[in-house]
Amino acid sequence: MPTYNRAHLLPPVVESILSQDFRDLELVIVDDGSTDNTAEVVQEIQARDPRVRYVWLPQNRGVGFARDAGLRYAPGRYIALADSDDLWMPGRLREQVAILEKHLEIDILFGDWWDINHVKGTRRRAFEGSPGLQEVEARPLGNGLFLGERGLETGILKSNFIQLATVVLRQEMYNRVGGVKANLRMSEDLEFCWRAAVLGARFAYLDRPLIERHVYKDSITAQGDRSWLERLAAVEAMYGTCRQLGRRDLVPHVRATEVRTYCNLLRIYGEQGERGRVLRTYFWSLRRGFSLRATKWFLVALLGPGALAWAVREGKG
C-alpha cells in the first residue's frame, strides 16, 4: 500500500485489510515521503498488529516508485495490491486466494468496485457501462467468476476497468511481467495491466464489488490535469513495449488512448479559460500526426467554458 499524506484516512482502510478472515498476510505500507503524521499513525497500528510493516521513503517519488519499493518486501506466494483510500470488502481476500488455489490457469484476479466520489456526490458500480470491459470476451466459470479469453489488450486501453486495489496475483507472474514501472508517478496501474495482458498473463474477474474506492478533493484522480499529464508518460512506455515486442497491431490502440488523453487535457484547459495551454497542448498532440477528434476539442476549447459545456452536454467530440 503506497501512501502520501493520508494519515487521516489510514486507520479505517488498514482495519478493512487486517480484519479480513484470511489471516495469513503481511501488510507493507510504503510512506512516499509524507509530511503529515503518517509515521505516528502506522506505528500505533503496528503496536497492535505485528503483521504491518512500515517502509519510509525520504522523498516523494510517485505511486509507481512507492509500489515497486513495497513489492520488494513482499515474499508471499500471492500479492494483493492496496491503495490508502480504498476500503476492502469483508471476505474478499479469502475468496480470491481460494479461486487462485483452485484455478491454476488464472494469473491475475480482479473484480468490480464501488466508485464513491465525494466531490461529485455520486456512487456507482464501476463495471456498469464500462466500454473497455464490453470488448472482453470472457468465459463464465460459475458464481460470478469470468475468465478473460480475448480483447484484454485493447479493452484495457479503451477504458481501464482494472482497479489495482481489487487485484490479487501470483508472485511469479508479477516477476515474469517485470513489475510496475517505478518511473511512472501515476497510471502505473494502466500500463502494468496492459503490459501483463500483452505478455500473455491470464486474467479473470469477479462480477461483484471487492472494494469501496473513495475519491476526495485531495485524491490524485480529482486533481485536474495532473492525472492526464502523467498518463502521457504511461502511453510513452506502451509505445516502447510495442516496439520491443514488434506488436505494430497494438499501436493504433495506444494512439487512441493518447488522443483521448489529449482531448481530456484540452477540455480541462478550455474550461479554465487557459487558451495558451490549449494551444500548446494541441500542437504537442500533433507530433504523432493529425487527429480529427483532438482538433474538434481544440476548436471548442478555444471558444471557452460555455462552448465546452455545450459540447459535453450534446455529446460532441
The answer, yes or no, to whether residue 222 has pLDDT greater than 60, is: no
Express each pLDDT in 52-93 by its tens digit. 999 999 999 999 999 999 888 877 899 999 999 899 999 999
Residues 232 and 97 in one domain: no
The answer, yes or no, to whether residue 221 has pLDDT greater than 60, is: no
Name the domain boundary from 163, 196, 222: 222
The answer, yes or no, to whether residue 109 has pLDDT greater than 60, is: yes
Q: What is the mean pLDDT of residues 10-27?
A: 96
Cα(16)–Cα(88) distance, rounded to whole angstroms?
5
Q: What is the mean pLDDT of residues 216-223?
A: 60
Query: How confident is the model at residue 292, as a pLDDT?
Result: 95
Cα(54)–Cα(44) distance, rounded to whole angstroms?
11
- Residue 69 lies in domain: 2-222
**What confidence tier does 120 reach under pLDDT thresholds 50, 70, 90?**
confident
Query: How confident is the model at residue 73, as a pLDDT?
Result: 81
By three-state DSSP, how is residue 259 classified? helix
Q: What is the mean pLDDT of residues 105-127?
A: 94
Q: Please say whether the dihedral angle defined by the alpha carbons of residues 102, 98, 65 and 187, taken in this order, is positive or negative.
A: positive
**What confidence tier does 218 reach under pLDDT thresholds 50, 70, 90?**
low
Computed over every residue of the chain, the mean pLDDT equals 92
With b for 16 or more beta-carbon neighbours within 10 A and e for fewer, the 274-292 pattern comes to: eeebbeebbeebeeeeebe
The answer, yes or no, to whether residue 225 has pLDDT greater than 60, is: yes
Express each pLDDT in 159-213 by its tens digit. 989 999 999 999 999 999 998 998 988 899 999 999 999 999 999 999 999 999 9
The answer for residues whose C-beta is within 8 angstroms of residue 233's C-beta and 6 or more apart is: 183, 184, 185, 187
Residues 43 and 134 in one domain: yes
DSSP code string of 14-41: HHHHHTSS-----EEEEEES--SSHHHH
Q: What is the mean pLDDT of residues 103-120?
A: 95
Residues 73 and 167 in one domain: yes
Q: Which helix (H) or strand (E) holds 244?
A: helix 226-245
Query: How confident is the model at residue 316, as a pLDDT?
Result: 53
Query: How confident is the model at residue 106, as a pLDDT?
Result: 98
pLDDT above 70 covers a percentage of the chain that reads: 96
Name the domain boundary from 222, 254, 281: 222
The answer, yes or no, to whether residue 313 has pLDDT greater than 90, is: no
Residues 181 and 42 in one domain: yes
Residues 9 and 134 in one domain: yes
Residues 237 and 186 in one domain: no
Residues 102 and 195 in one domain: yes
What DSSP state is assigned to residue 89?
Answer: P
Residues 160 and 78 in one domain: yes
Name the domain boundary from 222, 252, 281: 222
Residues 111 and 69 in one domain: yes
Residues 15 and 127 in one domain: yes
With b for 16 or more beta-carbon neighbours within 10 A and e for fewer, the 153-166 pattern comes to: bbbbbbbbbbbbbb
Residues 120 and 255 in one domain: no
Q: How far is CA 188 from CA 68, 94, 183, 269, in A?
A: 10, 26, 9, 24
Query: How confident is the model at residue 188, as a pLDDT?
Result: 92
- Between β-strands 27-32 and 52-57, what pairing exists: parallel, antiparallel or unpaired? parallel
The answer, yes or no, to whether residue 107 has pLDDT greater than 90, is: yes
Q: How many structural domains compose the chain?
A: 2
Residues 106 and 246 in one domain: no
By three-state DSSP, how is residue 119 classified? coil
Residue 104 burial (CB count, 10 A): 9
- Residue 171, CB half-sphere, CA atoms under 13 Å: how many? 8
The answer, yes or no, to whether residue 35 has pLDDT greater than 60, is: yes
By three-state DSSP, how is residue 274 classified? coil
Cα(114)–Cα(181) distance, rounded to whole angstroms?
27
**What confidence tier does 223 reach under pLDDT thresholds 50, 70, 90?**
low
Express each pLDDT in 234-293 by its tens digit. 999 999 999 999 999 999 999 999 999 999 999 999 999 899 999 999 999 999 999 999
CATH number at 159 reads 3.90.550.10
Residue 253 burial (CB count, 10 A): 19
